[in-house]
Chain A
Amino acid sequence: MTLAILQRTDRFVSVVWPSGLHGMNGYLFLLPAVALVFILVIALGYMLEFSLHELDLSTYRLKEAYSLTNYQTILDRPVYLRVLWRSLLAALIVTVITVFLAFPYAYLMVRTSSAATRKFLLVALFLPFFIGQVVRAYGWLIILGKQGLLNSILTGLGLPALDLIYNYPAVILGLVQYMLPFAVLLLTPAVAAISEDVELASESLGANWLQTFRHVVIPMATPGLVGSSVVVFTLTLTDFAMPEILGGGTSDFIANAIYDSYFQISNIGLGAALAILLTLIGSALVALMFMIAGTGTLAVTEAEE
């Protein structure tokens, strides 16, 4: 019975995937990924199409005629430029702070000789992954809110309560905390690829630890640094939850603006134009980062020995 099924399956497979194609078996596994990317590209195409039609305020539908009105609107309205600038600045600040904090973490995790320390750092790294972004944002509300933990400590000490939430720094703080594990995770293999002997060699050749860090560790970790910077930068640039929850409307990012155009003012065309703009700017900046850091940075690191 099962044998018959197996044989029939075999026959079926040999028809749709003849043995002549078996050399390409490996590529079969790429199909889902390719399909996903393909769908994304189609969606992007639709977005582009939407963005080129103005909203007809009388019918609340997009006009037939093509126009650049939506893009013009974005450029004309200072609020959108401010949102754009705010998102870019946040992406930059968060990237710098996060990578700056993540590097020592990754370095210590790789180099520590104490198994207990390594285990602790690993657990501390993976724990936040089990807690979603929204939950973490609410966690910050509990700590930083008007009647939050910090403020009750302050008032308990007889000090005035502070406005710690619903502002830009709070959003940045939340984002850094959210991005840190990603950055560490991306940096760890890069640091682990640097053999300790290379650092010792540098020291015995006359470099102190700072010089070793600057001339050996950092250059050798560049692929990891670029990779994690790109990821943190794009994730921050496109973030929605942190500015929404911790910004409370004061610190909207592009994603929040897109959300608003779709669901608050129902202007699909404008939202699509913002999304296209976000994609363009993001891609351009990522390309720029790769260009500055040299080609092939994400490629497998050149053989060390």
Chain B
Amino acid sequence: MVEICDVSKSFGDFRAVDDASLALPKGEFLTILGPSGCGKTTLLRMIAGFSKPDAGKILINGGEVENVPPHKRSIGMVFQRLALFPHMTAAQNVAYPLKMRGFDTKTIPDRVSEYLKLVRLQGYEERRPHQLSGGQQQRVAIARALSFSPDLLLLDEPLSALDKKLREEMQLEFRRIQQELGVTTINVTHDQREALVMSDKIIVMNAGRIQQSDSPEAVYRAPSNRFVANFVGLTALFGGAIERVDDEGVVVRVGELALRARAGEALTPGASVDCAIRAEQIRILADDEENDTGRFDNTVTGKVDQRIFEGDRMVYQVTVPKLADATLFVFDHDPTHHAERGQSGALKLAWNARDMLTFPTNP
């Protein structure tokens, strides 16, 4: 349905999008995830036809679109700042693409109410955008982008301006609508939760380059490099060197300790690597609890530097002297321990080799 081949775009000397490629089958929901300024909007604007790539090709429905102007592409777009027409009512906004695309005037009112119903905005037809709440404006923007049944829907962080609760509500709403209509969708966000919740497939971008292109689970569980591991989830990263490789995986030397990790790339002994371990993979052992049963591959003792209360859990930031003062993050879901663990300052932590990843250190 959509195919992007080796697309690049520069502003002056600055490469905003660098050699990006992706392919999206019909009906799927793809999210491009990346930090602010990584080139997400730039890529989306090229797909929409607002700017041309410096190099590479974009194909929609198998045809190259280089010379197809935006109004001749069948693409609905919801903008980062919505871009509703302030001088038109909600219904007029939704009717606009139908009029411009020459839909039969008799069918327009029905279509408008059909799509306002889809986004649950019946009764708001005559309101102007400034008379609607942020979430309602959001819905008008979606209805407007969808009312003409485009082949492709582009979402440029339309949820980023909303508060957390409304945002999470709208994420599910977007997903429901997308599945109801089966419209191929590319969503752009810097919110990892949004990407994980909504997508069939996630592309992680950084500094104009695609880092990983995978299912949400794979992006989360098997990040392909240090950036992805760090960007998705709460991850501790620290440097080490490969000590030995055996049947069960690798052993990495970090500071005074040797840790067991999942087998990865760069397995030559002596190679320096970045180790990554997610907060939720680390267990907190009770003070008197020994790892003698061998339940865990790695145990360390550290000092709690900081406690962050997140309501349903406490996050400890723990410094481990024997790991060359590496900082680990740990979740504590048991409120009965919160007070006592914060006081004592020392924590015994343990995790398994399969949960610790290693990436070759970039030279």
Q: Verify if A207 is at the interface (C-beta below 8 Å from B).
A: yes
Residues of A within 8 A of B85 (CB): 198, 201-202, 216, 220
Residues of A within 8 A of B71 (CB): 203-208
Select from chain B the residue with minimum beta-carbon distance to A222.
B87
Given A195-B83, A198-B83, A215-B96, residue A206 in contact with residue B101 (CB < 8 A): yes
Q: How far apart are the CA atoms of A195 and B145 in the complex, in Å? A: 18
Q: Verify if A200 is at the interface (C-beta below 8 Å from B).
A: yes
Of the 9-residue stretches B74-82, B212-220, B296-304, B354-362, which lies at the interface with chain A?
B74-82
Chain A interface helix/strand/loop/mixed: helix
Select from chain A the residue with minimum beta-carbon distance to B102.
A206
Q: Verify if A211 is at the interface (C-beta below 8 Å from B).
A: yes
Q: How many A residues have CB within 8 A of the partner chain?
A: 22
Q: How far apart are the CA atoms of A303 and B77 in the complex, in Å? A: 22
Residues of A within 8 A of B80 (CB): 197
User: Does A220 lie within 8 Å of B75, measured CB to CB?
Assistant: no
User: Does A206 lie within 8 Å of B84, measured CB to CB?
Assistant: no
Residues of A within 8 A of B144 (CB): 205
Given A220-B87, A303-B130, residue A204 in contact with residue B96 (CB < 8 A): no
User: Does A204 lie within 8 Å of B70, measured CB to CB?
Assistant: yes
Q: How many B residues have CB within 8 A of the partner chain?
A: 30
0 or 1 for each of B340-362: is its CB under 8 Å from A? (1 = yes): 00000000000000000000000
Selected from A208, A211, A304, the residue in CB contact (under 8 A) with B86 is: A304
Q: Verify if B111 is at the interface (C-beta below 8 Å from A).
A: no
Q: How far apart are the CA atoms of A255 and B37 in the complex, in Å? A: 59
Q: Verify if A64 is at the interface (C-beta below 8 Å from B).
A: no
Q: Verify if A76 is at the interface (C-beta below 8 Å from B).
A: no
Selected from B87, B101, B129, the residue in CB contact (under 8 A) with A219 is: B87
Q: Verify if B208 is at the interface (C-beta below 8 Å from A).
A: no
Q: Verify if B120 is at the interface (C-beta below 8 Å from A).
A: no
Given A207-B100, A211-B100, residue A201 in contact with residue B69 (CB < 8 A): no
Q: How far apart are the CA atoms of A175 and B299 in the complex, in Å? A: 86
0 or 1 for each of A250-282: is its CB under 8 Å from B? (1 = yes): 000000000000000000000000000000000
Residues of B within 8 A of A302 (CB): 86, 128, 130
Selected from B50, B96, B129, the residue in CB contact (under 8 A) with A205 is: B96
Residues of A within 8 A of B100 (CB): 202, 205-207, 211, 215
User: Does B77 lie within 8 Å of A201, measured CB to CB?
Assistant: yes
Residues of B within 8 A of A207 (CB): 71, 96, 100
Given A204-B77, A205-B144, residue A220 in contact with residue B50 (CB < 8 A): no
Q: Could you list 10 A-B pairs, sorted by A, with CB under 8 Å? A: A200-B70, A202-B96, A203-B71, A204-B70, A204-B77, A205-B76, A206-B148, A216-B85, A220-B85, A304-B129
